[in-house]
Amino acid sequence: MNVVINRWFYKLVAKVFFSVLIAVVSMQSISVNTLYGQASKRILLPGIVSELEKKQISIDFGDTSKKITPILRKAFSCHGAFRLSSPSKSQYVLRFTNSSGNQVEVAVLTGNPQKIVKILIASGSSEEEAVLKGCDKVVNYFLKIPGFFTGKISYISNFSGHKEIYVSNALMTTSHPNTNFNKISFNVSWDNQGNGLFFTSNRQLFNNIFYLNLATRKISTVANYRGSNLSAVQNPRTNQLAMILSGKRNPDVWIASSPTSKPKQLTRNKSNESGPCWSSDGRRLIVTSDSRGKPQLYEVSLSTGILTKIPTNVSSHCVEASWNPLDPTRISFTAAVAGGFQIFEYNFMERRSKQITKGSSHGLQSTWLNDGRHIIYTERTNKGATRLMIMDTELEGAQAKPLHGSNFGNCSQASFFYSK
Q: Give the H or E element holding residue 5.
A: helix 2-26
Residue 28 lies in a domain: no
Tens digit of pLDDT for each residue in 223-272?
A: 999 999 999 999 999 999 999 999 888 999 999 999 999 999 999 999 99
Whether 46 and 168 map to the same domain: the answer is: no
Q: Rounded distance, CA 182 to CA 188, Å?
A: 16
Q: Supply the DSSP string of 237-299, one letter for each residue.
A: SSS-EEEEE-TTSS-EEEEESSTTSPPEE----SS-EEEEEE-TTSS-EEEEE-TTSS-EEEE
Q: What Å distances lie between residue 378 and 2, 166, 240, 381, CA to CA?
A: 68, 15, 27, 10
Whether 186 and 64 map to the same domain: the answer is: no
Phi, psi (5° rounding) for residue 129?
A: -65, -40
Q: Supply the DSSP string of 82-113, one letter for each residue.
A: EEE--TTT-SEEEEEEEEETTEEEEEEEETTT
Residue 316 lies in a domain: yes
Residue 308 lies in a domain: yes
Residue segments in the chain with a per-residue pLDDT below the cut of 70: 1-50
Residue 11 lies in a domain: no
Residue 67 lies in a domain: yes
The pLDDT value given to residue 49: 53
Tens digit of pLDDT for each residue in 298-313?
A: 999 999 999 999 999 9
Residue 21 lies in a domain: no
The pLDDT value given to residue 32: 30
Mode of pairing for the β-strands spanning 318-323 and 307-309: unpaired
Taking alpha carbons only, the member of 62, 75, 211 closest to residue 138 is 75
The pLDDT value given to residue 206: 84
Q: Rounded distance, CA 162 to CA 183, Å?
A: 6
Whether 331 and 372 map to the same domain: the answer is: yes
Of 143, 177, 192, the residue at which a domain comes to its end is 143
Whether 126 and 258 map to the same domain: the answer is: no
CB-based contacts of 330: which residues, under 8 Å, 6+ apart?
323, 324, 345, 346, 347, 348, 372
Tens digit of pLDDT for each residue in 34-47?
A: 333 333 333 444 44
Residues 321-343: b if buried by 16+ CB within 10 A, e if exposed: bbbbbeeeebbbbbbbbeebbbb
The pLDDT value given to residue 9: 44
Whether 185 and 286 map to the same domain: the answer is: yes
Whether 265 and 303 map to the same domain: the answer is: yes
The pLDDT value given to residue 234: 98
Predicted TM-score of the model (pTM): 0.87
- Domain range for 202 is 152-417
Whether 96 and 189 map to the same domain: the answer is: no
The pLDDT value given to residue 45: 41
Whether 244 and 269 map to the same domain: the answer is: yes
Whether 410 and 283 map to the same domain: the answer is: yes
Whether 136 and 260 map to the same domain: the answer is: no
Whether 131 and 173 map to the same domain: the answer is: no
Tens digit of pLDDT for each residue in 131-150?
A: 999 999 999 999 999 999 99
Taking alpha carbons only, the member of 289, 300, 333, 298 closest to residue 314 is 333
Q: Rounded distance, CA 8 to CA 49, Å?
A: 37
Residue 19 lies in a domain: no
Residue 193 lies in a domain: yes
Q: Structurally, how many domains does the chain consist of?
A: 2
Whether 131 and 175 map to the same domain: the answer is: no
